[in-house]
Structure 1
């Protein structure tokens, strides 16, 4: 089961998150999500536990508990939604593109 954890202290890393959940059973993976530019925690993460019973016990026990001075929220992770792909183009980008060069006086 994939578990979503929010409101994590910025001091919690992957290993710390794993340790919290291992008290309730086997953990396949634990990942604190970080900013791709700064490398700092974004305050949330995901834990995968293979046994649904253990995962549900962990969710029940850890939701609204304190970890590293912060009260965390723990829920079953929702599947990632497909978002439409954003297309970027320089066409019609504000008047300083080809239109200006083509319309000489």
Structure 2
């Protein structure tokens, strides 16, 4: 299951995100999304957990929890909706 994690502190990196979820089970990947030009974190990321039950446990435990003074938003990731073409 792919999990969205929002409102991360900008200093959180991939390893810290993986550690946060690894106590609930196997983590296949953990990626903090970064600005492609500056490399600065955008404050959210995605975690992939292959076991559905473990992923649901992690979502339940971490959603609305406080991490580094910030209230996390954790839920099942939804696919990006089709966005209209930008006009210049």
Question: What TM-score do you get using the length of structure 2 for normalisation?
Answer: 0.92
Task: Report the equivalent of 1:82.
Answer: 82
| Structure 1, unaligned runs of 5 or more | 89-105
Structure 1 or 2, whichever has the larger Rg, is 1
What is the CA RMSD across the aligned residues, in angstroms?
1.3
Partners of 1:84 and 1:69 lie apart in 2 by: 36
Task: Report the equivalent of 1:6.
Answer: 6
Ranked by relative contact order (alpha carbons within 8 Å, sequence separation 6 or more), the top structure is 2
- Greater strand proportion: 2
User: Which secondary structure does the structure 2 equivalent of 1:81 belong to?
Assistant: coil
Task: Report the equivalent of 1:18.
Answer: 18
Offset of residue 84 of structure 1 = 4.1
Task: Report the equivalent of 2:64.
Answer: 64
Once the two structures are superposed, residues 10-59 of structure 1 have per-residue CA deviations (whole angstroms, 9 ceiling, x without a partner) of: 11000000000001000000000001111000000000000010000000
| Structure 2, unaligned runs of 5 or more | none
Question: What TM-score do you get using the length of structure 1 for normalisation?
Answer: 0.78
